[in-house]
Chains A and B, each alone.
Chain A
Amino acid sequence: MDQDLLARIQLIAHLEGHDDRAWHVAWNPVRPILASCSADKTVRLYNYRPTQNAESPSDISLEFSLNTTIPTGHAKTVRAVAWSPSGKTLATASFDSNIGIWAQEEEGDEDSNLQGEWECMSLLEGHETECKSIAYSSSGTLLASCSRDKTVWVWEVHPDSDFECMGVMMEHTQDVKCVAWHPTEEILASASYDDTIKLYVDDPSEDWFCFTTLTGHTSTVWSLAFSPDGRFLASGSDDQTIRIWERVQEHRWECISVLEGHDRSVYSVSWGRGKGEGHLGWLASTGGDGLILVWEMSLEATESGKDKMSRKLIARLPAGHGVHDINSIVWCPRQGLEDVFATAGDDGVARVWKVVPSNS
C-alpha cells in the first residue's frame, strides 16, 4: 500500500550517543546545526553539510558530524530544546523545573568557525515542577515555557541574556505539555493533559490572557504546530488523532478536520513548508506507534466560494525507530531543506530523514 503514495521517507543520518531516551530535536534556523536533548541531561549539537551522491549528482544528501556535547548541568532530564530565531541562543527545558539559556562565548570574528564553548548565560527559575516545553516567538523577543505545575509563562528577552517575566497563565487544570507560537503574530498556544488547547495574547495595558480554549480532543494533547501561513493550527493527541483548527475570526479558532492513521498516542506534529508549489505545506506526525506520516495540506475551492482544506497522505514509514516510541518530529526550517526532518526516539537516537519522490 505504501508504494501507492507519492513519496517515501529515506533515512539520511542515524545519530547515536545519548545514554538515555532522546526527547526532542531542534534545527538551528540560521546555521547548519541540529540539537538533540535527552534524559541523560545532555544536549548534543551536530554540524551538517551537503554531500552529493557520485552516481546521481542531483541527489543531495547531508553528512552529519558531532560538534559538541553540552553537559547542561540540569539536575534532571532535558525535555525540550529551542533555538532563538537568530540562531545564536539555545534554550533548554528541564524536568528540574528550570530553563537554561545557552550561547557561545564570542571569540574572534563573527564568521569564524572557531567560536567558543556553549555556556549557560542565564537560568530561568519560576516553574514549580517539571518544565515540559519551550518556544521562542517569531521575533525572538519572547520566550514561552510550560510545566507540570499547570502554568504557562511568557518571558521577555532582554539584552545580555536577561529575562523579564511578562505573564504567568494559570488556565489549564492539568500538566501543560507543549507551547507553540504563531509564525507571525504574538499569539501563544498551549496544550495540556486536561485535553484542551488554550490560546493567549497580550493585553497591552494589562497582562497576557487566554482568549480562547479549543476543546475536541478526548485525551491529552501532546503537541502543537501552526501552519507556515499562520491560518491553521495542528494538534496531536493521545486520542490517536490530529486535529486541524482554522482561524475563522481574529480571536476565534474552529476545528475543521480530524486526521487519523496512528494507532497509539500522537506525541509530535510538525508543519513545514514542504517542497513544491500550490499547497499549505507538509504536516508530519509521529508517536507511540513509531509510525511517521507525512501529509500534504492544501486548499480547494468549493462551490460556495469559500475554500476548504484538503489533505493527502504523501508518505508513510512504520517503525521509524524500530520498536521504540518516537518522541518528536521536526522539519528543517532552512531554505532548500524543506524536505528534511529529524526525529528523536526512546532508543536514545536522533534520526534525520528526507522525503523523496516514490519514482526516484
Chain B
Amino acid sequence: MAFSGALTLTDLNDFITPSQACIKPVEQSNPAPVHDPGAASTQIQVDSSGSYYEVSPIGRTEANAKKKLQTAEISLNDCLACSGCITSAESVLITLQSHTEVLNFLSSNPAPSSPTHKIPVLSIAPQSLASLAASLSSSSARPVSLTQVLRRVRAFATRVLGFEHVFDTTFARHVALREHAREFAERRAGKDGAGKLPMLASACPGWVCYAEKTHAEMLPFISAAKSPQQVMGTLVKEWMGAKWGKAPDQVYHVTVMPCYDKKLEASRQDFYNDVYATRDVDCVITTGELDLLMREKDWDLSEPVAGELDPPASSPSDVTALPELLVHPGSSSGSYLHSLIASFIASSPVPLIHTVRTVRNADYEEHTVVDEAGTPVFRGARCYGFRNLQNVVRKVGRDAGVQVGRGAAGRVAALRRARKADAGGEERGYNYVEVMACPGGCVNGGGQLRPTAGAEKSVDAEGFARDWAESGVRVEEDGLQIQAPSAKWGDKEWTKKVEETYWRALPTPPPTPTPEEREIERAEEEKRRWADRLAVEVLYEMCRPGESPPHDGTWDVQMDERAETTRRKLFRTQYRAVESEVVGLAVKW
C-alpha cells in the first residue's frame, strides 16, 4: 500500500531508503579536562536513564568519577545534507513540524498586547481542501465545495486555535505560475545564466529531493521558480508582515499541504532568513494532521458555518486580502504545463493548435502545440509517479546529451549516445515537463486523507454495499480475487474522487450558460483580474518600494537591475547535488 506515497515519507519502508548510516560527527562541547600525560583511556557508561557518562578507570574520586556527556543531536538540516537516511530525517521532522508543534506554539504564544507576540497565519493548499471535501462528501448527501471547506477550516483555525489569518495558497500559485512562465521565456530566449531546456517543474519536493540525491545532471533543467508554498512564505513573512508592521520573526506561518515532503522543502537553507533567524514557513502539517487536529479539538467539519456559501470576494476587503481559491485550469497538481501553454498561445502572433496524447496511462501525457502549417512549436509532457519520472530522467538526459551514467561503463554509453546523436535523425525532445513524484499527482499526495477504512472494499462490483464475509464469500485471497488490484486500485478510485472534488470549485460552463452561471463566470473573471493586478502591486511594493506599477503592468514587466535582483531573490531558489560519499556497510552477497 506504500504505492501512492511513492516518494513520500509516510512509512519507514520509504522508497528513498536509508542507504547508509548517519555520518553526523558527534560534536563534544563539554570542555575536555586536562589530562595527565600518559593517563589511561576512558570508558563510556550508559545509565538507566539513557544518559552517557565518561568514566576514568584510574584516579577515580567520588567527585569526578563520572562526567556526563552530551547526547548527540541531529537536526533536520543535518539530515538533508546527507544522502544517507531519509528515515531518520523523517522522525526528526515529525517532531519538528507536527500538529502538536503547532499547538505548542499557539499555547506559548504571548497575548497580542505583548511585544513578543507572533501573528499566527495558516495557509492551506487547494489539494488539501479537496481531500477534506471529498472525505466529507462521501459521508454526506450533498457534495461540499472547496470554498465551504476553506471557510469551515478558517472558522476552526481562528475560533478554536487562535490563528489571526487563514488563506488558501492559490494566489501564491498564481504568482509562482507567472514567475515560472517568465523563467521559461528566459530559458527559451537563451538568456545568460537562464538554465537549460527542457525546463522541469520544481513544485514537487519529492522530485527535487530525488534529483538532488541521485540525478544531479537534472538540476540545471529544474525550474528555479519557487513553489506556491514558498511564494506564500515570502508573501506572508515579507509582504504581509510589512503591512502589519511586523518583522518576519514576528509572524508564525503554518501551511497545510497534501505532501510530507513539503516539510523538507520548508526546511531548506534557501528559505531560511538569517537576519531574523526564521523560516518563510515555520511549520508544515499535512492534510491528515489537520484532520487529526480538528478531531482532537472536537471540531466537526461537516457542520456548516455562517456565510460559507457566500460567493468569494472579487475585490480586496483589507490590505492583506488575497483572492480566494483562484482556479488554474489544467492539472490538479498546479497546472504548470497548462499555464505555460496558455501563455505561449496567448503571446503568439499566429494561431496555434494544442493537442494532447496519452502515453500508456493518465499519468503520462504528451502535449504538442503546432502552428497552422503543422510544425510543432512546443512539446511538453505531464509525468506523474516514480516510474514515469525514471523515464523522464532517461529521456531528458538522452535528448540533452547529458551524462546519465556514472562510472566508466556510463561514460562509454554516453559516448555512444553522443556519437549517435551526431549522426542525426534525432527526434526533437520536450521543451517542458510537469514532473510530480506521486502517481495521480498532488491530489494523491502522501499527506492526504485515505479513504475511510472498509468503505471501498464493502462495495461490490455493481456498487452495492455489502459485507462479503456475511454473504458467505471467503474474504481471503483466492484464485478469483487476486490480491493486488483490489488492494491497490481501491486508492485509485479514491484519487479520482478527490480529483473531481478539486475541480468542483469551478463549474465547467455549459455552451449556453444560465444567468447565474454567467454571473459566476463573471465573478471568476473579476477575481482573476484582481489577482493579476495584485501580483504586480506585490512585485513593486517588494522590489521597488515607493513606486507604483505602470497602469498596464503585468508580472512580466522588466524593472531595473536592482529590482530584478530582488525579484530573483524573492521568487526563485536554487538546487544543489547531494554527494553520496559514504560507503554503506560492506555487502558480501
B410 engages A206 (CB within 8 Å): no
Binary per-residue interface labels of chain A (110-124) against chain B in the complex, 1 for a CB within 8 Å, 0 otherwise: 000000000111110
Closest B residue, CB atoms, query A132: B589
B413 engages A74 (CB within 8 Å): no
CB of B83 to closest CB in A, whole Å: 10
Q: With the chains together, A168 CA to B411 CA distance in Å? A: 25
Stretch with Cβ within 8 A of A (4 or more), from B74-82, B446-454, B483-491: B483-491
Q: With the chains together, A100 CA to B411 CA distance in Å? A: 11
Residues in B neighbouring A251, C-beta threshold 8 A: 479, 482
Q: Contacts A209-B488, A211-B484 known; A123 to B394 CB distance under 8 Å?
A: no
Q: B46 on the interface (CB 8 Å rule)?
A: no
B485 engages A203 (CB within 8 Å): yes
Give the interface centre of B6, B16, B420, B589 by most chain A CB atoms within 10 Å: B589
Q: B13 on the interface (CB 8 Å rule)?
A: yes
Q: A165 on the interface (CB 8 Å rule)?
A: yes
Closest A residue, CB atoms, query B16: A128
Q: B576 on the interface (CB 8 Å rule)?
A: no
Q: B386 on the interface (CB 8 Å rule)?
A: yes
Q: With the chains together, A229 CA to B412 CA distance in Å? A: 39
B408 engages A73 (CB within 8 Å): yes
CB < 8 Å neighbour of B391 from A125, A149, A164: A164
Q: With the chains together, A250 CA to B480 CA distance in Å? A: 9
CB < 8 Å neighbour of A120 from B17, B409, B589: B409
Residues in B neighbouring A122, C-beta threshold 8 A: 413
Binary per-residue interface labels of chain A (245-261) against chain B in the complex, 1 for a CB within 8 Å, 0 otherwise: 00011111000000000
CB of B123 to closest CB in A, whole Å: 32
Q: With the chains together, A168 CA to B387 CA distance in Å? A: 6
Q: B587 on the interface (CB 8 Å rule)?
A: yes
Q: A359 on the interface (CB 8 Å rule)?
A: no
A170 engages B412 (CB within 8 Å): no
Give the interface centre of B214, B387, B409, B413 by most chain A CB atoms within 10 Å: B409
Residues in A neighbouring B477, C-beta threshold 8 A: 212
CB of A73 to closest CB in B, whole Å: 3
Chain B: residues with Cβ within 8 Å of the partner, total of 41
Residues in B neighbouring A192, C-beta threshold 8 A: none
Q: B378 on the interface (CB 8 Å rule)?
A: no
CB of B587 to closest CB in A, whole Å: 5
Q: B19 on the interface (CB 8 Å rule)?
A: yes
Residues in B neighbouring A129, C-beta threshold 8 A: 17, 19, 584, 587
Binary per-residue interface labels of chain B (13-48) against chain A in the complex, 1 for a CB within 8 Å, 0 otherwise: 101110100000000000000000000000000000
Q: With the chains together, A94 CA to B300 CA distance in Å? A: 55
Q: A29 on the interface (CB 8 Å rule)?
A: no
Q: B2 on the interface (CB 8 Å rule)?
A: yes
Residues in A neighbouring B387, C-beta threshold 8 A: 165-168, 207
Chain A, range 38-89, C-beta contacts under 8 Å to B? 72-75
Q: B458 on the interface (CB 8 Å rule)?
A: no
Residues in B neighbouring A249, C-beta threshold 8 A: 479
Q: B390 on the interface (CB 8 Å rule)?
A: yes
Q: B511 on the interface (CB 8 Å rule)?
A: no
Q: With the chains together, A329 CA to B409 CA distance in Å? A: 27
Q: Contacts A150-B17, A210-B484 known; A125 to B409 CB distance under 8 Å?
A: no
Give the interface centre of A162, A250, A251 by most chain B CB atoms within 10 Å: A251
Q: A216 on the interface (CB 8 Å rule)?
A: no
Q: With the chains together, A177 CA to B15 CA distance in Å? A: 18
A211 engages B482 (CB within 8 Å): yes
Q: B312 on the interface (CB 8 Å rule)?
A: no
Q: A205 on the interface (CB 8 Å rule)?
A: yes
Q: A148 on the interface (CB 8 Å rule)?
A: yes
Chain B, range 482-524, C-beta contacts under 8 Å to A? 482-485, 488-489, 492
Q: B404 on the interface (CB 8 Å rule)?
A: yes
Chain A, range 148-163, C-beta contacts under 8 Å to B? 148-151, 160, 162-163
Q: With the chains together, A149 CA to B409 CA distance in Å? A: 21
A165 engages B409 (CB within 8 Å): no
B409 engages A72 (CB within 8 Å): yes
Residues in B neighbouring A205, C-beta threshold 8 A: 361
CB of B406 to closest CB in A, whole Å: 8
Residues in A neighbouring B391, C-beta threshold 8 A: 164-165
Closest A residue, CB atoms, query B403: A123
Closest B residue, CB atoms, query A94: B409
Residues in B neighbouring A212, C-beta threshold 8 A: 477, 482-483
Residues in B neighbouring A209, C-beta threshold 8 A: 484-485, 488
Q: A96 on the interface (CB 8 Å rule)?
A: yes
Binary per-residue interface labels of chain A (139-151) against chain B in the complex, 1 for a CB within 8 Å, 0 otherwise: 0000000001111
CB of A4 to closest CB in B, whole Å: 35
Q: A173 on the interface (CB 8 Å rule)?
A: yes
Q: B274 on the interface (CB 8 Å rule)?
A: no
CB of B588 to closest CB in A, whole Å: 10
CB < 8 Å neighbour of A96 from B17, B407, B413, B420: B407
Q: Contacts A128-B17, A129-B19 known; A121 to B394 CB distance under 8 Å?
A: no
B484 engages A206 (CB within 8 Å): no
Q: B3 on the interface (CB 8 Å rule)?
A: yes
CB < 8 Å neighbour of B390 from A132, A150, A165, A177: A165
B13 engages A120 (CB within 8 Å): no
Q: A130 on the interface (CB 8 Å rule)?
A: yes
Give the interface centre of A73, A130, A166, A211 by most chain B CB atoms within 10 Å: A73
Binary per-residue interface labels of chain B (366-398) against chain A in the complex, 1 for a CB within 8 Å, 0 otherwise: 000000000000000000001100110010001
A125 engages B479 (CB within 8 Å): no
Binary per-residue interface labels of chain A (162-182) against chain B in the complex, 1 for a CB within 8 Å, 0 otherwise: 111111101001000100000
Closest B residue, CB atoms, query A163: B394
Binary per-residue interface labels of chain A (217-251) against chain B in the complex, 1 for a CB within 8 Å, 0 otherwise: 00000000000000000000000000000001111
Q: With the chains together, A248 CA to B412 CA distance in Å? A: 47
Q: A28 on the interface (CB 8 Å rule)?
A: no
A126 engages B390 (CB within 8 Å): yes
Closest B residue, CB atoms, query A99: B409
CB of A138 to closest CB in B, whole Å: 22
Chain B, range 403-454, C-beta contacts under 8 Å to A? 404-413, 416, 420
Residues in B neighbouring A213, C-beta threshold 8 A: 483
Q: A353 on the interface (CB 8 Å rule)?
A: no
Chain A, range 170-198, C-beta contacts under 8 Å to B? 170, 173, 177
A170 engages B408 (CB within 8 Å): no
Q: Contacts A148-B587, A166-B387, A211-B484 known; A121 to B416 CB distance under 8 Å?
A: yes
Q: A98 on the interface (CB 8 Å rule)?
A: yes
Interface residues, chain A, with chain B CB atoms under 8 Å away: 72-75, 95-96, 98, 100-101, 119-123, 125-126, 128-130, 132, 148-151, 160, 162-168, 170, 173, 177, 203, 205-207, 209-213, 248-252
Q: Which 10 residue pairs spanning A and B have beta carbons closest together?
A: A73-B408, A73-B409, A123-B405, A249-B479, A165-B390, A209-B484, A120-B412, A252-B479, A211-B482, A120-B409
Interface residues, chain B, with chain A CB atoms under 8 Å away: 2-3, 6, 13, 15-17, 19, 214, 361, 386-387, 390-391, 394, 398, 404-413, 416, 420, 477-479, 482-485, 488-489, 492, 584, 587, 589
Subset of 30 A-B contacts with CB under 8 Å:
A72-B408, A73-B407, A74-B409, A75-B406, A95-B587, A98-B405, A98-B407, A98-B410, A101-B413, A120-B412, A120-B416, A121-B416, A122-B413, A125-B214, A125-B405, A125-B410, A128-B214, A129-B584, A149-B19, A150-B17, A151-B15, A163-B394, A170-B6, A205-B361, A206-B485, A207-B361, A209-B488, A210-B484, A250-B479, A251-B482
Given contacts A149-B17, A164-B394, A165-B390, 12 further A-B contacts (CB under 8 A): A72-B409, A74-B408, A98-B409, A119-B412, A123-B405, A125-B410, A128-B16, A173-B13, A209-B484, A209-B488, A212-B483, A249-B479
